[in-house]
Chain A
């Protein structure tokens, strides 16, 4: 493409620029390493473009503010890291049940607790899925490059708006702070999806009425008068304890995501077709895994990499297909086996070899190669 704009930028800045590209016009956040660059960029960018930035008093307030802003029609986002992500969990569930689109960036660091604030880890793969109480849908995207920090942030907004549910971006300290040269897409080049809103002004009697497996269609505050609550509610948005209505609601907010997986699934395969040694990895660990695949192929080992870009919902069918043909599944990750747990669920008899690192250092290809060097492959 002519006149393409290339920039050499940090992953966190690419994320912020992706948000801007997607039309984000509200950001509420709280400083936390290693995500703060996103907030700093938005603090400068938003007011210059008519948007709003606010530094709230804590992470609970941050996500509360973006849910409130989103209800008025704003495309709203927050960014944080492990401890802040833990604090946000209750209101992530609120956004799920009240069907309010928001984007939450979690640039993962070591844990538990304060852990290793400036070191990389992949500590929140399962917190992203199960962190908030109650059954709920989860959409979580996990970029592995600066370019993907941009494009996946755009996709996160699209999915949040379409499904009316919180979408989580799982960065990590490496991807967030690493600098790479990326091409900034032209305006209009990437698809931008905005939420559907009803066009009737005045009282909105059934804002939560919806087809089965589909999102509700709420007006924005200020256009119609209606009620929003975190209690189980009926189509009118008002609390109910009617067993059938409650069951239908709880099932619909989940089925709207899982029955439309084709709109969410995204994964990358590297030489998976004939892979006997299948690596399953995400985020920065997947970069090491790709190096390991190249090294193994050079040695004549039929190795391949399966990399979910959408981590949740997990692309289980596609993974299972390659897992079935493999003799070994290797799961390198910067935690003590969170992704391995997932692999086990979707693998039948294939042996799984975990490669775990939780010392705050990046996981390199040599760790993966040495972990499987004893295998008869």
Chain B
């Protein structure tokens, strides 16, 4: 279930209450997010849409513990993250969040295997255990035969699949995808969305995705629209709000 009215039952995986984010630019105060509420249950696939500058990426950054809000709270799996120190947030991210970026952001000097292995280096897994996890993750995204390829030897779609494998390899609580198909052709985009849908359905992975692409948003179970820092539910609501 996904709610934006702040009246969730308190059992949702992700709970956001009264979230504000303001920036100071010059003498001007910019309100990016205003009093935002959100409840997302485990296993939901949620798409955030909205015009540029509406605060989608800011919301994702706040959810991922990469940024701190001006007001309000974010609770994920019982952890209130808004008051965590920078160090604790880093540890929390390692355990709970898998990031997928528009530009893949793979490390070019590492092979697909090594890129996917990165989050596991922060765990106590042995080398052979890490290998098993990496191979499993690469199999899920259909790249079991590309383990020793460097990013430059892969297509854009394949790079994004490696990025997905990196995001899921440590079995995080949820995935945050910032325009995961924004830099891909239609065919590759469909493949990536297929993998995300599969992760949501088969593995009950909670996925929050920012996208400009209506076809990508269609794959999600819920589509939320951000406009002028306020979240609204459904296509009709977006049309009304825009």
Q: Do A and B come from one complex?
A: no
Binding site for A on B (CB under 8 A): none
